[in-house]
Structure 1
Amino acid sequence: MSNLLMIFTRNPELGKVKTRLAKTIGDEAALEIYKFLLEHTVKVTKDLKADKATYYSVSNINNDIWDPVLYQKKEQKGDDLGERMHNAFSEAFQNGYEKVIIIGSDMYDISSEHIEEAFTQLDNNEIVVGPAEDGGYYLLGLKKPIRAIFENKAWGTDTVFQDTMKDLTNNQVHLLETLNDIDVYEDIAGKEVFQPFLKKINI
């Protein structure tokens, strides 16, 4: 395979995932929702015709939902998100991949079609970006490392997408449709799929 899908994931530990969401619904409910989102990401990605790698935030986990037959298991390396993503892309290209895409593991609105479109669009574009409604992005696809994308960004804020696009003014970029990320209570309040989690805690 010349295509690689990299999935950045946080180790599912109580009190360490979906911390902004947890401020409203509590740590235990936030962890349950995060695990649900992980399972959704597996469903979306497992049948894609590309090599796949799961990048853990802390350390690899054996016997979890990421089947080692389908997913290479790696650890994120770097001091901030930008450095960790840059290092992952650099390693992928050094290993001979020609088209590399990175996504997170907690985007309920993403589908396999979005990822397939991104790989296809890399045939005629240098970069593919999937903007998120919160001002970040949920997908980034490259055909070569571009270090500037990963530097001087306020990660986790609403300026990331805008600042990234400023770095790409001289590149041919394809934008996917904008999707909603799951970060705070308002992101799940109106979605029926999350109601069973909220009913458990009487919200």
Structure 2
Amino acid sequence: MGLAPPKKDSSAQRSKAALVIFGKAPIPGQVKTRLCPPLTPDEAATLQGSLVLDVVERARAAAKSVQYDCCFACSPSREHVFFKVLEDRQGLLLLDQVGEDLGARMHRAFQELFDRGYQQVVIVGTDVPTLPGSTFGAAFRSLKDHDLVLGPALDGGYYLIGLQRPAPDLFTDIPWSTDQVAALTRKKAESLGLTTALLPPYRDLDRLEDLQVLIGEAKSAPKTFSPRTAGVLQALADRLKSRDATLD
């Protein structure tokens, strides 16, 4: 399955650049499972939904000054009601995530969009609540004179990757969900003759340690978060403390 035409905007390609948000629907028991426990599946799903909305809203806002089309690569399916609402309200182009692992799914998304005529494609995840909207413009600017742009995560992975042409070998033989992903991707890019630009590192929200740090940051620097996610993090902190979880 490929791209679905958006409901509000014209299905015709409007830009030479595409931003693809990779994310999951906030289904209890299927998202943020490494945070459960201490979070309940419902709490993890609430957090996931807030993170997704953050990236979508920041991406749409940034697209007003940086010309690119906004897409969303959906899991488990673009037919899920959560994504249909996003499509209707935000005018996103929807894709299904297709592939046996993350690398295969990203390669499929890149290939599909390059096949549609895009000349720059950037993929971003939904796990960095402090990611500023200016990141997207920086990524596309980097692709003007680099083959590859990476946004490294503090856990050794990456929260963003962009290309100006297909590079299928870049996504093979990578141990996904390990602390070697970004380093091995850069090494492979070098072996393929690809020039790489790096964006500032940010913290992914994947583990309890990340949740603890981000709860603290939401208290000390709330303006780096959306009001919605800052509120979700504070509510989770209060609930976890009431369960005698050690967050401080």
Into which bin does the TM-score normalised by the smaller protein fall? Answer: over 0.9
Match of 2:171 in 1: 150
Q: Distance in 2 between the 1:105 and 1:70 partners?
A: 18
Percentage of matched positions with identical amino acids: 33
Equivalent pair of 2:154/2:201 in contact (CA under 8 Å): yes
**TM-score w.r.t. length of structure 1:** 0.94
Name the aligned partner's letter for residue 155 of structure 1. Answer: W
The aligned length equals: 203
1:52 and 2:74 are equivalent in the alignment: no
Could you tell me which runs of 5 or more consecutive residues in structure 2 were left unpaired when the two chains were aligned. Answer: 1-14, 219-229
Bigger radius of gyration among the two: 2
Name the aligned partner's letter for residue 186 of structure 1. Answer: E
Structure 1, residues 61-103: CA drift from partner, whole Å, max 9, x if none? 3442344652111111111111111011001101000000001
Equivalent pair of 2:127/2:159 in contact (CA under 8 Å): no
Q: Return the structure number with greater helix share.
A: 2
**TM-score w.r.t. length of structure 2:** 0.78
Name the aligned partner's letter for residue 59 of structure 1. Answer: S
Structure 1, residues 123-151: CA drift from partner, whole Å, max 9, x if none? 11111000000100000010011112111
Q: Distance in 1 between the 2:40 and 2:207 partners?
A: 12
Q: Distance in 1 between the 2:134 and 2:90 partners?
A: 22
In the TM superposition, structure 1's runs of 4+ consecutive aligned residues that sit over 6 Å from their partners are: none
Equivalent pair of 1:3/1:98 in contact (CA under 8 Å): yes
Q: How does 1:104-115 map to 2 (within 5 A)?
A: 104-115=125-136
Which shows bigger deviation, 53-62 or 129-138?
53-62
Q: Distance in 1 between the 2:88 and 2:57 partners?
A: 12
Could you tell me which runs of 5 or more consecutive residues in structure 1 were left unpaired when the two chains were aligned. Answer: none
The SS at the match of 2:19 is: strand
The CA deviation at 1:23 is: 2.8
Against the structure 1 CA distance between its residues 105 and 66, is the aligned structure 2 distance closer, same or farther, given a 3 Å change threshold?
farther
Which shows bigger deviation, 134-143 or 184-193?
184-193
The equivalent position to 1:195 in structure 2, one of 234, 242, 248, is 234
Name the aligned partner's letter for residue 6 of structure 1. Answer: V
The SS at the match of 2:36 is: helix
User: Aligned-residue CA RMSD in angstroms?
Assistant: 1.5
